[in-house]
Structure 1
Amino acid sequence: MGLFAFIKEAGEKLFGTGEAKAAQEAAAKTPTPVNIESANVTAAKAIQNYIAKNNLPTDGYEVKFDAASGTVIVQGNIDTQANKEKVLLCCGNVAGVEAVQDQLYVPSAEPEARFYTVVKGDTLSKIAKEMLGNANAYMTIFEANKPMLNHPDKIYPGQVLRIPPK
């Protein structure tokens, strides 16, 4: 459990489309102030939908969003350490999110992965060489970040990746 930092400007742009965009447009058309609680709920639902879209488990825990701090709070139970880490990354690799507060419980203890923030010029091979000691281990990183990654060459600066334990 802990607080994980992310780059607010990097990531999936969930809040400018779909339900979140509709909520923003509706709020803009009314002269009354935006209902912050409703906007937070809508943003949390957009994040939950993104988690589901990545074929990760969505039962047993809840996702909350606090727009004022840019923080996602994830609390409850999840089946494996790998799924926990992938859910946390789904929550954090969203434009507008600065931090993810991890309150997820995994029933059986498993080794934790490390996280790596991509910088300009990085490739999975370069990251594998630095983090795992072997550039040819890039597929290990790619596999550990599926389904969020769909191609080994499609990473971007600011994205946070899961580096599995050796």
Structure 2
Amino acid sequence: MSVKDKYQSVLSLGEKLETKDGTVAVENGILKVKGTVKTQYEKDILWDEIKKVGGEKPSDILANIIVDDTSVYHRHEVKSGESLSKIAKQYYGDPMKYKAIFEANTNLLSNPDVIHPGQVLVIPNS
């Protein structure tokens, strides 16, 4: 199995995230990838996938992932059935951090218990 095949799930995720200016090259058995993602959250999930495939400190991949918008952790489009606590759990691993999301979106939200599908919420840097 080639190193490119080994990390195909990472490359596919990069495409799904619409990584800009992406390059992929193999040199001396090392996969070199570079690209720009929209937010830190997208960078984090790419690194999670790299570690899932290659282990905690993979030696057969070099990734240079640049974040385009560092002012926020992510921008989340609300889906039916979601709540701020569910969204907080997804991004921070802690549903009680819903308050941080609410406070970052007071221009859009007046009540933390009322959100609507289609709203795009700022997920602030923690």
TM-score by length of 1: 0.34
- Higher RCO (CA 8 Å, separation ≥ 6 residues): 1
TM-score by length of 2: 0.41
